Structure 1
């Protein structure tokens, strides 16, 4: 197959269709008509003698041939994009781009208000969409183009992704004001004698606090397990449950805060993105904005 006989614009449509899975979204994203997308797909099918995409319940599903092509196509498009745009500057004040960011509600509560203000000042037409996804799905979404960025613990080591340190979040114990234990330092004995609330997206399994307790030969009684940090804050405020949580969030809840009676390793967060966009000016701008906002939030909410 001679490359000079192939319209390279077809690969732009191919990559967009692989990412979006719907002709209407591709047409809107590329600012072309739906018939233009369909015509490009027809020409691609003729070129590769394969359907490439077939209709399914979730939209256009790639065939094995398309799956085999996507990595090389993306790398080629990225190289072309970097070559063409090497000297072009991303202009956030004019951009209408949407950035898709995966993180839990803890991250949303900590940085979205400040991040939204920065976007309003620097890039009023840029849109930010956040999604609460578990680690495995978030990693796959980054690889497939479903997410632009992901905030998570430093447990992802995929070759296709780059990462940067984002934050170190030490733990404290919170409880309602007026709680019987809300007076002076909290002993380990009192901590273990209380009922606890724990936040986790998993049905079972130990958190960092429980791992630290296990190392001491101890365990706490978790009487309630929830998936949402803000729900946990509301329940803690209306009950006698203790909630061990990163201080950065605790400072925003209005709850009584005391030091943990044992040494708990802090929660570390990294920022992840596809290696293919590491040098992309828009991605770099958003990454710097997120890291800057986290640094500001940490300095404001965490004591020296």
Structure 2
């Protein structure tokens, strides 16, 4: 096989299939049609004289040849991508770029007002789009540039993501000001006796607090489950 005879875009499709293990999701990630992905895979198979991926009920499983070349393919794609930006300079003052951020409503409330104030003063042409992306979808969203930055708890384990801590915070118990509880110190027994509000973007499943309680052999009583943090204190104020 001669490189001059191979369309380099095929390697982009190859990496997407390897990452997603699914032709349809690879097509969505690359913003092309599923038949186009299938056609590219057929051409890759012919060029390498190998199946490259075997279709199974669990997804597209890479062959030994795919496993052997994926590392070099990714290095080459990263090098090609970085070469397109060499010499480029990002000027916030004149940029009209749109940045897509993924975060919860609480993070939006903490960061976006101050960020927007800075942007209005120093980078008025920059636009921000913020919406929540589930942890399962974050790696693909970042890989496809559907999201430029995701802010979340450090629970996404993906070797191809770069992560930096923004800060740490502590949990606190919130009761309405005229709540019957009058002790100066809240014990674990008191804590478990109360009804709780659980905030989660998922329809079901435990949160971080529940996972820790389960580890201790304890369980709290969840009276209300909501998907946004900012509504929780409004409920607590009236219950």
| TM-score between the two structures when normalised by the length of structure 2 | 0.67
Paired position in structure 2 for 1:63: 37
Q: What CA distance in whole angstroms lies between the structure 2 residues aligned with 1:89 and 1:125?
A: 16
Paired position in structure 2 for 1:197: 197
Q: Which runs of 5+ in 2 are unaligned?
A: 13-26, 45-69
Say whether residues 1:83 and 2:57 are aligned partners. Answer: no
- The structural deviation recorded for 1:110 is 1.4
- The structural deviation recorded for 1:2 is 7.5
> What whole-Å deviation, never above 9, does each CA across 1:157-190 have from its counterpart, x for those lacking one?
3233222122222111112222122652222222
Q: Which secondary structure state, in structure 2, belongs to the residue aligned with residue 136 of structure 1?
A: coil
Whether the 8 Å CA contact 1:18–1:62 is kept in 2: the answer is no
- The structural deviation recorded for 1:194 is 1.3
Whether the 8 Å CA contact 2:97–2:125 is kept in 1: the answer is yes
Q: What CA distance in whole angstroms lies between the structure 2 residues aligned with 1:201 and 1:78?
A: 33
Whether the 8 Å CA contact 1:175–1:182 is kept in 2: the answer is no
Whether the 8 Å CA contact 1:199–1:227 is kept in 2: the answer is yes
Q: Which secondary structure state, in structure 2, belongs to the residue aligned with residue 129 of structure 1?
A: strand
Say whether residues 1:230 and 2:204 are aligned partners. Answer: no
Question: RMSD of the alignment, in Å?
Answer: 3.5
Q: Which secondary structure state, in structure 2, belongs to the residue aligned with residue 164 of structure 1?
A: coil
| TM-score between the two structures when normalised by the length of structure 1 | 0.54
- The structural deviation recorded for 1:100 is 0.7
From the two aligned structures, give the one with the greater strand fraction: 1
> What whole-Å deviation, never above 9, does each CA across 1:22-75 have from its counterpart, x for those lacking one?
xxxxxxxxxxxxxxxxxxxxxxxxxxxxxxx44xxxxx8742245798x99997
Q: Which secondary structure state, in structure 2, belongs to the residue aligned with residue 110 of structure 1?
A: helix
- The structural deviation recorded for 1:18 is 7.0
Whether the 8 Å CA contact 2:30–2:144 is kept in 1: the answer is no
Q: What CA distance in whole angstroms lies between the structure 2 residues aligned with 1:63 and 1:171?
A: 46
What are the within-5 Å matches in structure 2 for residues 293-304 of structure 1? none
> What whole-Å deviation, never above 9, does each CA across 1:138-166 have from its counterpart, x for those lacking one?
22211222111111222223233222122
Q: What CA distance in whole angstroms lies between the structure 2 residues aligned with 1:63 and 1:111?
A: 39
Q: Which deviates more from structure 2 when the two are superposed, residues 107-116 or residues 183-192?
A: 183-192
Q: What CA distance in whole angstroms lies between the structure 1 residues aligned with 2:218 and 2:6?
A: 70
